[in-house]
Amino acid sequence: MRVVVAVDGRIGEDLARRLREEDADVRAVVAASAPAGAALDALSTPEAAELLAELSRADVLVVEGRPAALTAELVAACDRMSVRIVPVSSRSADLRLAASLGLTAHDPGAPAEEMLAPPVSIAPVAAARGRVITVWGASGAPGRTTLAIEVASALSTPTHRVALVDADSHAPSLALATGLADEGPGFAAACRQADRGALTVAELSRISSTLGELEVLTGLNRPGRWPELSHRRVAAALDACRSWVDDTVVDTAAPLERDEEIVSDLVDGPRRNAATLAAIESADVVLAVVAADPVGVSRFVRAWPDLRAAAGATPVRVVVNKIRAGALGVDARGQVRRTLERYTGVTDVAFVPWDARGTDAAMLAARPIAHVAPRSAVPTAVRRLVAESLAPREAGEGAATRHSLRRLARSA
């Protein structure tokens, strides 16, 4: 394990010695404030650029927990480089600072193996209180990612924490749509930690990115990494998210087929659609997105039985997106409503209008439509949907009990 130590004086030297005794590869021992300065301006001095390059090759940064050394810019830089930060301090103010950044501080005299060990989960999943809202849509481009972003933005308030998760194993696009880097930790990292039982609230806060008030777990930076999103890992990661935020909005892929389980000889082999199925099975509410055109409606109708089979007793709210007369003619809403009622039995449908100007402006700015064009018809319709179907509910034992009952109903 490659380690950079940023602790001043004899304490830093002693810490580096103890880490080497634990077979850690201590690559550098620098001043406590040096990494923070390099993260703020890597071009300020040649030494800063060299230190930042060394950090990019490290696994762990041990740094003093005082404000001048442990900064939000340093945490963001280390997250982009997949470097775990271990603050060291014994002052109560520094402990609070580390906690506010999603980190766990250690006493400078703590055993070296304790600092190198990954954080261990301390909160049982049964104590979780948050909801999981899964956004799904049939093949094509019905607007799953756009709706997921807008729903998360509408739910988020200063007192109601919301996370946005990209669990798409076929064509992840959340990072591209929001202008966030996808090279560092994201949902795949959360899944790996959950598989080891080491996914804590602090670790989720550390590996997530921020988009305004939203916490974001970006998706795979290469679709070929889909085996990392196994059913067990995704379900465990989403369960951990329940104790992290009040609502977790999950963007998924379209395919729901289980054919690969039939043709494969591997009983526990990877399934590419496992992430989508796990997200739907873990959900408290599923938002099923329909593209408001003949092809989109037809695809949704054909996929509806598979969605209902995967969702079980979980409520499914159908959202017709990009509604416009140009693609359907007169009374577009009435046509879609009658078609869905006839072929799927769905009578309660929400509509989101097509707004090319607002959508294009949001894509250009890599921000939610609600931030770029707050008067657009899209965020207005999404806010109405949230108020009618997704209004934040009370937290506590009743919510956890309802989720447990849904899971029992699906397994019955």
Q: Which one of 116, 145, 175 terminates a domain?
A: 116
Per the listing, tokens 């294009």 go with 360
105 and 170 in a common domain: no
- Report the number of distinct structural domains present in the chain: 2
Residues 265, 381 within the same domain: yes
pTM of the model: 0.66
- End of a domain among 99, 116, 133? 116
Domain that holds residue 204: 125-411
Same domain, 196 and 342: yes
Residues 111 and 143 in one domain: no
Q: Whole-angstrom Cα distance, residue 232 to residue 194?
A: 9
Residue 135 and residue 111 share a domain: no
Nearest to 182 by CA among 137, 131, 124, 221: 221
Q: Is 321 helix (H, G, I), strand (E, B) or coil?
A: strand
Q: Tell me the C-alpha to C-alpha distance, in Å, between residue 165 and each of 158, 160, 254, 317, 370.
A: 19, 16, 15, 19, 18
- Which helix (H) or strand (E) element contains residue 163? strand 162-166
Which of 63, 82, 116 corresponds to the end of one domain? 116
Tokens of 229: 């999103």
CA 95-213-368 angle, 5° bins: 155
Q: What does the DSSP 8-state code read for residue 140? A: S
Same domain, 6 and 73: yes
DSSP of 196-265 = TT---HHHHHHH-EEETTEEEE---SSGGGGGGS-HHHHHHHHHHHTTT-SEEEEE--S----HHHHH-S
What is d(CA 389, CA 398) in angstroms, rounded to the nearest whole number? 18
Residues 32 and 158 in one domain: no
Phi then psi for 138, rounded to 5 degrees? -70, 175
CATH code where residue 32 lies = 3.40.50.2300
Closest CA to 351 of 340, 366, 364, 343: 340
Q: What is the pLDDT along the chain (412 residues), one digit of tens a residue?
A: 888 998 888 888 888 888 888 888 888 899 988 888 888 777 778 888 888 888 888 888 999 988 888 888 888 888 888 888 999 988 766 777 788 777 888 888 888 888 888 765 444 434 447 899 999 999 988 999 999 999 999 999 888 889 999 999 999 989 999 998 877 668 999 999 998 888 888 888 888 888 888 999 999 888 788 888 999 999 999 999 998 889 999 999 999 887 655 555 555 566 889 999 999 999 999 999 999 999 999 999 999 999 999 999 999 999 999 999 888 888 899 999 999 999 999 989 999 999 999 999 999 999 999 999 988 999 999 999 999 888 765 444 444 444 444 444 444 3
Q: Are 181 and 80 in contact (CB under 8 A)?
A: yes
